DNA sequence: CCCGAATAGTGTGATATGTACACCAAGGAT
DNA sequence: ATCCTTGGTGTACATATCACACTATTCGGG
């Protein structure tokens, strides 16, 4: 019998469960922080985990991620990209579960964390001081997310998603230093920024303990991404 | 009742079918080519598609990809990385199918294409002259693969996976030009290569229609990847 | 007023990298 | 010998990176 949409038997092949998990990163308290939820139910009840949930029948993977994001933060208008898909056979004690991990990047003033239906509570954690034992393989997912963000800093304007609409250059530099985990030379940072032509001054200043700092904003006409000019590692 | 491994009901949530598809890229006939199979059965019977298959119960996604790779090429010892996961609801007429796409990069002298159990035939196609209508959303997957390969050329040594163990510098340059789809200056190319310190001369030469060309090989102690020194796009 | 502290902002020199173009080297054929 | 084909090298200019030094602006205290 020829297969058609009417008589196709999907159970002929293994069908795992599929979740979309969202690593939500932001800058808060001079720190790069991720939103984690405390799981309320087995498996890993009481453990901290990346928010996520099963992909529904008629939604794309991205839509699933956005749904989870809205459930955990109340917003969806943030930078979101697919990270990686984790699918080792034993990663979830319930059954075979494949997780499509996403990375959301946002500024702290944009979101209001709340615990979704499957979580006891939600909390911000420093990416540099995570809970001792995360659920599932979520430590690997977080590691992957940080690596991806650092990598993306080099070529794209993603870093600006972590900042409010207006920021000073020392604030921008501090953000980069926090994410990269290293100190940057102020003069060189400013020079690279000027050369990139992705920010413009607002004309306003912010009071500081010393000299007032000029406020900048991300340029709407800035290039979002660039290509390198190298050919080898 | 508390959930445990014994009484967990996986059917509580939607369970899509999951496939691992492998984009196998190589350099043949002065061309960047991809191995495609002609589908033997519905859906898209008679259409060319990326080799792939359903992920089995006790294998990881990577193992599934390697199994498919071995089935289509006879080898598994090639460069393989996960590309992206495609999961739009209507992408497969059979049922809900999520595809974890992988990229395999290999030299042409390493593999022997054969049609797996679900294909009428296997054939190399130029990435620059693909069949008019590919199955599923495989045109998008191929597009993604080419973009990834080009991107990886800049920072990693992946390009060398496409070449035989020994190669001349004009051959290496031609490979880069084919992949990038642009001409490169020979002197500048050689200078960048020398600076990268990733190849070493073998001491042997290859006869050409003109001056003999020195043979090189990829250095085993070469760095596999590098970080840029940029901070903005 | 001056000074020091705190913070913001700028300049210089050495080195590395990118780009375009010109030229030299080594073989084969005539 | 010359010409063609292919391989290999050098130069000048522009741009980018890095380390370090220095200037600018506010505030508070003596």
Instruction: For chain B, give every domain's residue range.
Output: 15-145, 163-218
Does residue A118 surpass a pLDDT of 70?
A: no
Residue-averaged pLDDT of chain B: 92
What's the CA gap between B205 and B213, in Å, rounded?
A: 5
Please tell me which of A5-9, B17-21, B91-95 the model is most confident about, judged by mean pLDDT.
B17-21
Give the mean model confidence (pLDDT) for residues A103-123: 80
Angle at B222 between CA B216 and CA B224, to 5 degrees: 120
Nearest residue to nucleotide C25, by CA–C1' distance, is: B211
Nearest residue to nucleotide D8, by CA–C1' distance, is: B187
What's the CA gap between A89 and A1, in Å, rounded?
A: 33
Does residue A112 surpass a pLDDT of 80?
A: no
ipTM, two decimals, is 0.92
Query: How many other CB atoms sit within 10 Å of the CB of residue B120?
Result: 12
Kindly state the percentage of chain B with pLDDT values over 90. Answer: 77
Architecture of domain B15-145: Alpha-Beta Complex (3.90)
**Which residue in the set A41, A60, A223 is minimally distant from B87, CB to CB?**
A60
Say yes or no: Cβ of B213 under 7 A from any atom of strand D. yes
Say yes or no: Cβ of B88 under 7 A from any atom of strand D. no
The tens digit of pLDDT for each residue in A11-46 reads 888 999 999 999 999 999 999 999 999 998 889 999
What's the CA gap between A142 and A134, in Å, rounded?
A: 10
Residue-averaged pLDDT of chain A: 92
Residue that wins the pLDDT comparison between A149 and A117: A149
Per-residue confidence (pLDDT) for residue A6, from 0 to 100 = 81
Kindly state the percentage of chain A with pLDDT values over 70. Answer: 97
For residue B115, what pLDDT band results from cuts at 50, 70 and 90?
A: low
Per-residue confidence (pLDDT) for residue A113, from 0 to 100 = 73
Per-residue confidence (pLDDT) for residue B138, from 0 to 100 = 98
Give the right CATH number for A163-218 from 3.30.1490.20, 3.30.390.30, 1.20.1250.20, 1.10.10.10.
1.10.10.10
User: Closest by alpha carbon to A94, among A155, A139, A57, A135?
Assistant: A135
CA A174 → C1' D22, Å? 22
For residue B116, what pLDDT band results from cuts at 50, 70 and 90?
A: low
* Residues in chain A, total: 233
The tens digit of pLDDT for each residue in A53-101 reads 999 999 999 999 999 999 888 888 999 999 999 999 999 999 999 999 9
Per-residue confidence (pLDDT) for residue B119, from 0 to 100 = 66
- Find, in chain A, the residue whose alpha carbon is nearest to that of B11: A17
A26, A106 contact by CB (below 8 A): yes
What's the CA gap between B185 and B150, in Å, rounded?
A: 18
Angstrom distances, CA of residue A227 to CA of A38, A121, A230, B47, B144: 40, 42, 9, 35, 16
B51, B116 contact by CB (below 8 A): yes
Strand, helix or coil for residue B226? coil
- For A31, which DSSP code? E
CATH 3.90.79.10, applies to A15-153: yes
């Amino acid at each position: 019998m020829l297969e058609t949409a009417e008589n196709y038997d999907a159970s002929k092949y293994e069908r795992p469960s599929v979740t979309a998990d969202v690593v939500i990163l932001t800058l808060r308290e001079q720190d790069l922080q991720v939103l984690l939820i405390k799981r309320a139910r087995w498996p890993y009840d009481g453990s901290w985990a990346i928010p996520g949930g099963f992909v529904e029948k008629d939604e794309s993977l991205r839509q699933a991620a956005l749904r989870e994001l809205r459930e955990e933060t109340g917003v969806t208008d943030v930078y979101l990209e697919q990270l990686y898909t984790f699918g080792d056979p034993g990663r979830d004690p319930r059954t075979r579960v494949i997780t499509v991990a996403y990375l959301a990047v946002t500024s702290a003033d944009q979101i209001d964390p709340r615990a979704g239906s499957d979580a006891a509570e939600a909390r911000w954690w420093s990416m540099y001081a995570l809970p001792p034992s995360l659920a599932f393989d979520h430590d690997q997912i977080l590691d992957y997310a940080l690596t991806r963000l650092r990598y993306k800093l080099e070529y794209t304007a993603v870093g600006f998603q972590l900042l409010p609409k207006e920021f000073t250059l020392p604030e921008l530099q501090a953000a980069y230093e926090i994410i990269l985990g290293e100190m940057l030379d102020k003069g060189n940072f400013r020079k690279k920024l000027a050369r990139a032509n992705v920010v413009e001054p607002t004309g306003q200043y912010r009071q500081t303990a010393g000299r007032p700092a000029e406020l900048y904003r991300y340029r709407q006409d800035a290039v979002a991404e660039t290509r390198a000019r190298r050919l080898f590692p």
